[in-house]
Structure 1
Amino acid sequence: MSAPTLRRGTLGTADIAFFVISAAAPLTVMAGVAPVALMLGGIGAPVGYLLAGITLAVFAVGFTTMSRHVRSDGAFYAYITRGFGIPVGIAAALIAMLGYNGMEIGVYGLLGSATADTSHALWGIDVPWLPVSLLGLALIWYGGFRSIDFGAKVLGVLLVAETGILVLLAGGVLLEGGASEGLSLSSFSPGNVLVPGTAAVLACAFAAFTGFESTVIYRREARNPERTVPRATYIAVAFLGFFYAFVVWAVIQAFGEEKVVQAAADDPGGLFFSAITAYVGPWAADLMHILIVTSVLASLLAFHNAINRYALALAEEGVLPAVLGRVHPRHRSPYVAGAAQTVLGAVVVIGFAAAGADPYAQLLLWVNTPGMIGLMALQLLAAVAVLLFFRRIPHGEGALRTVVAPLAAAVLLTGAIGLVSYNVELFTGASTGVNVLLVSLVPAVFLLGLLLARRLKRRRPEVYASFAAEPSDAPEGPPEPAPAAAL
């Protein structure tokens, strides 16, 4: 009897898009980060989100084109291996683990602080953050333990709720005609966009898209992956880019172009709550408090599922311990990888708590920052890998997809990484020494990966030689029916 595998043909385009958009946590990004973007870039901030979306859409052109030629669950590291070779591919795999784990584990701090803030705002109760974060770890473990279609349904509900409250806010502003001076499109004029603060806005905007490329991780579980994966990628990028820009523009109209920057500076954490209270009602602000917590939970579940599938793929490659490659016989989930990731998260969370760290300013921001930079570095490597890959093989793809788009994406992503690294204090609020350490983690892990590749080549040549090879199993077939117990 063969070992259980992930359930094939389970996820459609919408399901995969839910995972990606949920990981971005739109409500949390808007209420928590957009006020900072307004403070830094003024009323031209909405354009920063559009420019970031355009950059990543250009990247997606080459990325999704290459996905038609690469059948692997390893996502970034498989693509990078095809372009650069095995050593860089193994290094990229370690950066991917750093990136996704950093993006998830840090958010447990946000879960604790957001829940504490919500409890205090609604009921006047002060809740300690650590028990909340540990409870979140248990809930997310269970969500990842269950079948992937269970996770897709949960994320679908939570995503509709968090985007719905933002649409409600924007709709209220539009119906009321905005502040006293009325609605205006001045945010999109060159004079308000080409200002010194736009560079910092772009850094915030790129961070808001982190994880969008994880569509490819679900290839094995997707229905007709050659179509659903590219579609989900474009839908996620387009939705996030336009939605972010629209919501930020609506908040500008809510306060007025002359007052919004000062309002954001006076109370960045309360900007969105003040707007929805004024244009919809206090009940909507209370609901937004609750939905921020569920938004964080959705982001955690999406990243948890992505990490588990990366760990599963690396275990199957022989790079990580084989036990992490076990799949649950009923739920068809990488349950051992999920348990290991949960334990790692608990160790980090408890460690920060024991050190007396702030859950938001330190656990979230310090752990998220190298994760964000790591994932952006992977995007850059993948863009260059597309160029190198299509130079090596015969293909019928056009030059726009295989040369122009990946080259443009590489240039733009290089600039984006430079902006984020230069403005890293915006994300961490830390000292120069801490910032240097956090940024240095990514190249340090890359070098560690190169050393691991060298060690594998010398001691386990068969594992090294087969790294990121095309799978030998049969092509993706029709969906497997989900047993009733897994639904």
Structure 2
Amino acid sequence: MPTTSAESPTTAIPDSTTARTALRSNALGVSSLVFIVISAAAPLTVIAGIGPLAILIGGIGAPLAYLIAGLVLAIFAVAFMAMTRHIRALGGFYTYIAESLGKVLGLGASTLAWFSYNALQIGLYGLFGVQANGLIKIVSGVDVPWWLLAALCIAAVYVVASRGVDVGARLLAVLLSAETLILLIFAVAVFAQHGAAGITFGSFDPATLMNPGMLAILGFAFAAFMGFESTVLYRAEARRPDITIPRATYISVIFMGLFYAFIIWAIIIALGEANAVAGAADDSATLVFRLAAQYLGPWAEITMYVLVVTSVFAAQLAFHNAINRYSFALARDGVFPRALFRTGATTGAPWPAGLVQTVLAAVVVGLFAAVGADPYLQLVLWVNGPGAIGIVALQALTSVAVVVFFVRHRNIARAWYVLPAAVLSALAMLALLTALIGTLDLLTAAGPVVNTILISAVTASFIIGAVLASVWRRTRPSVYARIGGTEEIAS
């Protein structure tokens, strides 16, 4: 998904900002794109914020979920990158679905993406509130309400994003390096001290896949790769995109799959396989920090708290920018109000779209706070869960779109393995989507009524876009014609 390193080219920035953005950005190489993808994924947030829940729900086989997600996405990347070479327009999965499966499904995909990214971003405000509160209590002993900290984060995200996505890009690169390093130091310390009960390999026993909870946490695992879409969104800003984008995509997916699996395995070793699930159940939100203090000392706990707060903030900024670009593109296409198709005169940032997203986040967080909901087990899980399902649905649709595209355009030269990879990734994504929906209660523990509402929200977000496109095909043909904005490259 888009991140905070450069202006996202989901659609052209109007007027004079186009040239300025192009001049400012047109030099992204492989390493820059890798940083963009991994920054969006926010590894410390994944490990410290979601990792304990993955162990709690999925058991000691949790590392396998991340390896499986990485493998499936690597196969998907092979097919996706092949189609990328033949699509000029920029807009992420939405563009590819609209080009290959038609504008009706394309607009449905766009509204689904808008909903899903909002859900993922807003849910993480609960995590930010919990982690920031933990940091403040350690440093000062003061207990600040999580919702107040979340509100401050919402405001800060809007302010920074409205100044342009390149603000703080170098700082984010430093923070990413720091959070990756502290996790590696922690893992090395755990293995050097042989953990709680020695170094064991039960996490990689295929039998752990039989745990029903493993299906539920696959949504977490795929959500950990949310930066995946970023590379194609930055095509216009990449140096030699036909080379840099595939390389950056493959490097990012392989690194994240191995890194997440390794660090979560280290957490299990730190607890001991026999005690891992019980240990994760004992205040999941602080587990990784307590283990860091145990194996490295108090300095590591405080350092991790600082870095996880900045990591969540960076992820929020990335999601915010992604949502704004979808809103901006939908306003361009006439789906959203034209007022959202505006940018700052000096920054090029779509601040009206950002304001709408900020208000929506404030309302949702406020509602959860007003009813006394748990920010971690309810706001994070109940809101992020549908978002993860929505993104997997988008990836499934995109896989199908790649299959249809290459079957329809048989004259386009391609490697022999591209079409089989597309078919395999489509089947895997559809199977995963079915499993996620079927095991949602293991993730949310919310009961059938709440789970039905959550699934219905995901479905409705897609249906609304598809129905609008169907109606506008007859009543607003000019708007219908603009949906997707795709342009196939002659080959």
The normalised TM-score by structure 2 is 0.89
Partner Cα distance (1:199, 1:223) in 2: 39
SS in 2 for 1:106: helix
Q: Which of 304, 307, 310 is the matching residue for 2:323?
A: 307
Q: Which residue of 2 aligns with 1:463?
A: 479
For the pair 1:257 / 2:270, whether they are aligned, the reply is no
Q: For 1:79-228, what aligned pairs fall within 5 Å after superposition?
A: 79-179=96-196, 181=198, 183-193=199-209, 195=211, 197-228=213-244
Bigger mean CA deviation after superposition, 379-388 or 297-306? 297-306
Displacement of 1:277: 1.7
| Change in CA separation of 1:440 and 1:192 when aligned onto 2, cut-off 3 Å | closer
Bigger mean CA deviation after superposition, 214-223 or 443-452? 214-223
For the pair 1:442 / 2:458, whether they are aligned, the reply is yes
Letter of the 1:318 counterpart: G
| Change in CA separation of 1:230 and 1:151 when aligned onto 2, cut-off 3 Å | farther
Conserved in 2, the CA contact under 8 Å of 1:214 and 1:306?
Answer: no
Conserved in 1, the CA contact under 8 Å of 2:219 and 2:385?
Answer: no
Letter of the 1:395 counterpart: I
Letter of the 1:220 counterpart: A
CA offset digits 1:446-484 (Å, max 9, x no partner): 221121102221222122123223469x9xxxxxxxxxx
Partner Cα distance (2:303, 2:476) in 1: 55
Partner Cα distance (1:30, 1:128) in 2: 24
For the pair 1:43 / 2:60, whether they are aligned, the reply is yes
Partner Cα distance (2:395, 2:167) in 1: 29
Letter of the 1:256 counterpart: G
Partner Cα distance (2:212, 2:152) in 1: 43
Letter of the 2:427 counterpart: V
Conserved in 2, the CA contact under 8 Å of 1:19 and 1:155?
Answer: no
Q: Which of 292, 313, 332 is the matching residue for 1:297?
A: 313
Conserved in 2, the CA contact under 8 Å of 1:187 and 1:193?
Answer: no
SS in 1 for 2:257: helix
Displacement of 1:197: 4.6
Q: For 1:49-60, what aligned pairs fall within 5 Å after superposition?
A: 49-60=66-77
Q: Which residue of 2 aligns with 1:280?
A: 296
Displacement of 1:355: 4.0
Partner Cα distance (1:361, 1:252) in 2: 21
Letter of the 1:338 counterpart: G
Displacement of 1:285: 1.1
Q: For 1:244-393, what aligned pairs fall within 5 Å after superposition?
A: 244-393=260-409
| Change in CA separation of 1:217 and 1:355 when aligned onto 2, cut-off 3 Å | farther
Displacement of 1:396: 0.4
Q: Which residue of 2 aligns with 1:17?
A: 34
Letter of the 2:375 counterpart: P
| Change in CA separation of 1:159 and 1:416 when aligned onto 2, cut-off 3 Å | same
CA offset digits 1:250-295 (Å, max 9, x no partner): 2222233333333334443343223222221111112212222111
Bigger mean CA deviation after superposition, 298-307 or 415-424? 415-424
Q: Which residue of 1 aligns with 2:17?
A: 4
Gaps of 5+ in 2: 1-13
Conserved in 2, the CA contact under 8 Å of 1:217 and 1:309?
Answer: no
Partner Cα distance (1:355, 1:427) in 2: 21
The normalised TM-score by structure 1 is 0.89
Partner Cα distance (1:343, 1:227) in 2: 40
Displacement of 1:10: 5.1
Partner Cα distance (1:360, 1:42) in 2: 19
Displacement of 1:47: 1.7
SS in 1 for 2:63: helix
Displacement of 1:24: 2.5
SS in 1 for 2:143: coil
Conserved in 2, the CA contact under 8 Å of 1:357 and 1:363?
Answer: yes
Displacement of 1:186: 4.1
SS in 2 for 1:150: coil
| Change in CA separation of 1:72 and 1:375 when aligned onto 2, cut-off 3 Å | same
| Change in CA separation of 1:83 and 1:122 when aligned onto 2, cut-off 3 Å | same
Identity of aligned residues (%): 47
SS in 2 for 1:357: coil
Q: Which residue of 1 aligns with 2:10?
A: none
SS in 2 for 1:378: helix
Q: Which residue of 2 aligns with 1:73?
A: 90
Partner Cα distance (1:105, 1:193) in 2: 30
Letter of the 1:460 counterpart: R
Bigger mean CA deviation after superposition, 154-163 or 214-223? 214-223
| Change in CA separation of 1:157 and 1:236 when aligned onto 2, cut-off 3 Å | same
Displacement of 1:369: 1.9
